[in-house]
Chain A
Amino acid sequence: MMFPIVVNRGSATHKRHMLVLAVIVLALLVLVAFMLPEYQVGRVNRLWAMAIAIIGLNLVLGYGGLFALGHSAFIGLGAFITAWLVEDMRFDHWQAIPFSMAATFAFGSLLALPALRIKGLYLVVITIAVAVVFPSLAKIDKFGIAEATGGANGRKISEEVVPTGIGKALGFTELEAARYRYFLILAMVIVVVFAVRNLLNSRSGRAIIAIRDNETGAAVSGVNLLKSKVFTFGTSAALCGLAGTILALDKSFVAEQDFLFPLAVEMLVGLVIGGVATLGGAFVGAFVIVFVKEFSKNVNIDLGLFVLDGNGPFSALIFGVILIIVTFVMPRGIVGSLKPWFVQKVYRIDPTPPELPDTLQRLS
């Protein structure tokens, strides 16, 4: 086989390759679920949730060009709403999803309104403020907020999500609840990836990118800046709300300390390391913040004078050094930097130009 492999977009070969790729990826994902021990599967579930959240952040920041940095609040909001709906309103677990997403969408859209006037660093500061204030708000002992969120102690969701119906029929036991949830969450991840990808390749998605690259040009071409930004912000928040629901239901526990501002920073780190304005980057980024951070705790190098111990006072340092190295070697993130190489040397999809009409008259 000759490299790079070149196919035309939409051709039979292209479609066949995509099918094969999808089968391989799905097979690997199934394999992962059954190879890993149950407690590691729980971590992968967290990875999925963070990937969805980072895709949400990417929508606003990478594609929308709006510097928002408070997405930990949206995740938290989604998680608390889920806990409240399931515990107090007796919702069936996953029924919480549409409500959690709708609420975070509304909250995100509201935040977008000032974002239309304030730009750049001011927007960063406002969104940081929201993220910083959010955990304290969630603890307020008034209006029944603390009862709903569990206040400083957090709140347990009394019934864990365990295999039922089809899950049971497929042979999942109660001891493999995390593994069962893995597949439910994976299905949501797939829907999110396709929906966002479709959006980005559509009229509305091109408008979002156009606003990022040149607002004036977008406006005179008929793009309603207000509508587009509100939608982008809202959708971004709703994806974080979904991530919050997943986190809450996977751990059966929500607590305000899990949604502090550093979570928003972690998402930004994941986004930048994975690759801004790439979809695959969200997964690489989520992997880095969920797993590499764990791995770096296992580092144990004897340097003679002292031991570089990943679990000791240097744990953050080791993770930090990894981040610095990656950013230097791959300034556009792992996916963003590898993609040009991959396209040049391994696999390329060439555009298929549409047919020109027979009546075409050239202007010169």
Chain B
Amino acid sequence: MAQLSVRDVTVRFGGITALDSASFEVEKGQICGLIGPNGAGKTTLFNVVSRIYDPTEGAVEFEGENLLNHQAHEICKLGVYRTFQNLALWKGLTVIENVMVGAHSTTTAGYWRSMFKVGTKKEESQLRERAYAVLAELNLEDVAFLPADGLPFGTLKRIEIARALIGDPKLLMLDEPASGLTHGEVDELGGVIRTIRDRYNLTVLLVEHHMRLVMALTEKIVVLNLGRKIAEGDPDTVRKDPVVVEAYLGSSK
């Protein structure tokens, strides 16, 4: 059985149909690309899976669990983490603190214990060490103690990856991780994503406009256009699919 299955998901905002009965599956361990022209509904789909939006219709299952029965903050307990197209970091916290919050659901210190430091010291220092190590893995330890504000966009996108990784994800959803990166950085990112997948045993769902990266990295691609799935398959098949070519050319007219 597929690890993630999206079935007939429809999302309407007033008159706009952002997703129109979209269905697809992602196998465990796969790097799956989710592509499509601007406004195709890719981010909307992420928001449905992470329970920020309620779909008008449809079902989303992860490892047999109906995600629609869960609230947004419970999704990460199941092992689903994501990054954001336009960043969702906390600028009032330092970089390392941002990453530490990423492990919120795997740590336990509650309000009262925290106030009086009852048995929280060990967890806190271990959490700190872990966050610093994850940052170092991504070569980010130099910015660890800076505010997560005013750093270059590419660095912030990487910090979001670190924040997701520390939660020990099974499925990692990346929303345009290559935006704002230089050519060299894009290639490096491709390596990073592949290594993360292998090392952490991840499934990756990748939304990206950078076609070279998507083609090089993914094992499967799902193509959305105007909320509908118009193609699905391995990179070579999808690349040559006339419907896909038409959708992309059509949208750039």
> Contact check: which of B116, B133, B192 meets A364 at CB < 8 Å?
B192
Is A203 at the interface (CB under 8 A from chain B)?
yes
Residues of the A chain whose Cβ atoms lie less than 8 Å from the Cβ of B125:
354
Known: A203-B124, A219-B72, A222-B73. A364 touches B88 (CB 8 A): no
Known: A213-B91, A216-B88. A351 touches B139 (CB 8 A): no
Pick from A20-28, A113-121, A194-202, A251-259 the stretch touching chain B. Answer: A194-202
Pick from A45-53, A76-84, A223-231 the stretch touching chain B. Answer: A223-231
Contact A203 B127 (CB under 8 A): yes
A357 vs chain B, min Cβ distance (A): 6
Is B117 at the interface (CB under 8 A from chain A)?
yes
Residue of B nearest to A211 (CB): B90
Is A90 at the interface (CB under 8 A from chain B)?
no
Contact A217 B90 (CB under 8 A): yes
Interface centre among A199, A220, A223, A362 (most CB of B within 10 A): A220
Q: How far is the CA of A216 from the CA of B117 in the complex (A)?
A: 28
Residues of the A chain whose Cβ atoms lie less than 8 Å from the Cβ of B82:
220
Contact A202 B167 (CB under 8 A): no
Contact B93 A213 (CB under 8 A): yes
Is A313 at the interface (CB under 8 A from chain B)?
no
> Contact check: which of A195, A218, A224, A356 meets B136 at CB < 8 Å?
A356
Is A158 at the interface (CB under 8 A from chain B)?
no
Contact A198 B128 (CB under 8 A): no
Residues of the B chain whose Cβ atoms lie less than 8 Å from the Cβ of A212:
90, 92
Contact B73 A357 (CB under 8 A): no
Is B9 at the interface (CB under 8 A from chain A)?
no
Is B145 at the interface (CB under 8 A from chain A)?
yes
The number of inter-chain residue pairs (CB within 8 angstroms) is 141
B84 vs chain A, min Cβ distance (A): 7
Contact A219 B52 (CB under 8 A): yes
Q: How far is the CA of A212 from the CA of B88 in the complex (A)?
A: 12
Known: A199-B115, A202-B109, A223-B73. A360 touches B191 (CB 8 A): no
Is B196 at the interface (CB under 8 A from chain A)?
yes
B192 vs chain A, min Cβ distance (A): 5
Contact A203 B104 (CB under 8 A): yes
Is B241 at the interface (CB under 8 A from chain A)?
no
Is A111 at the interface (CB under 8 A from chain B)?
no
Residue of A nearest to B187 (CB): A364
Residues of the B chain whose Cβ atoms lie less than 8 Å from the Cβ of A203:
100-101, 104, 107-109, 114, 120, 123-124, 127
Known: A277-B92, A360-B133, A363-B196. A220 touches B81 (CB 8 A): yes
Contact B196 A205 (CB under 8 A): no
User: Which residues of chain B from 44 to 75 have any CB-CB distance to chain A below 8 Å in the complex?
Assistant: 50, 52, 71-75
Residues of the B chain whose Cβ atoms lie less than 8 Å from the Cβ of A221:
73, 76, 101-102, 104-105, 163, 167
Contact A202 B191 (CB under 8 A): no
Is A210 at the interface (CB under 8 A from chain B)?
yes
Q: How far is the CA of A212 from the CA of B93 in the complex (A)?
A: 11
Contact B90 A209 (CB under 8 A): yes
Residue of A nearest to B195 (CB): A363
Is B111 at the interface (CB under 8 A from chain A)?
yes
Residues of the B chain whose Cβ atoms lie less than 8 Å from the Cβ of A199:
111, 114-115
Contact B139 A198 (CB under 8 A): no
Residue of B nearest to A65 (CB): B92
Interface centre among B77, B123, B145, B191 (most CB of A within 10 A): B145
Between-chain CB contacts (< 8 Å), 28 pairs: A195-B116, A202-B114, A203-B104, A204-B114, A205-B114, A209-B90, A210-B101, A213-B92, A216-B84, A219-B52, A220-B72, A220-B81, A221-B76, A221-B163, A222-B105, A222-B106, A222-B167, A223-B101, A235-B111, A354-B128, A357-B129, A357-B133, A362-B137, A362-B139, A363-B139, A363-B199, A364-B188, A364-B195
Q: B residues within 8 Å of A by Cβ?
A: 50, 52, 71-77, 81-82, 84, 88-93, 97, 100-102, 104-111, 114-117, 120, 123-125, 127-129, 132-133, 136-139, 141, 144-145, 163, 167, 188, 191-192, 195-196, 199
Top 10 A-B pairs, shortest CB-CB distance: A222-B105, A217-B88, A202-B114, A213-B90, A219-B72, A222-B104, A354-B129, A195-B115, A351-B145, A203-B109
Q: Besides the contacts A218-B90, A364-B191, what 13 more A-B pairs have beta carbons closer than 8 Å?
A: A203-B100, A203-B107, A207-B101, A213-B90, A214-B88, A214-B89, A217-B90, A220-B72, A220-B88, A221-B102, A356-B132, A362-B139, A363-B191
Q: A residues within 8 Å of B by Cβ?
A: 195-196, 198-199, 202-207, 209-210, 212-214, 216-225, 231, 235, 277, 351, 353-357, 360-364
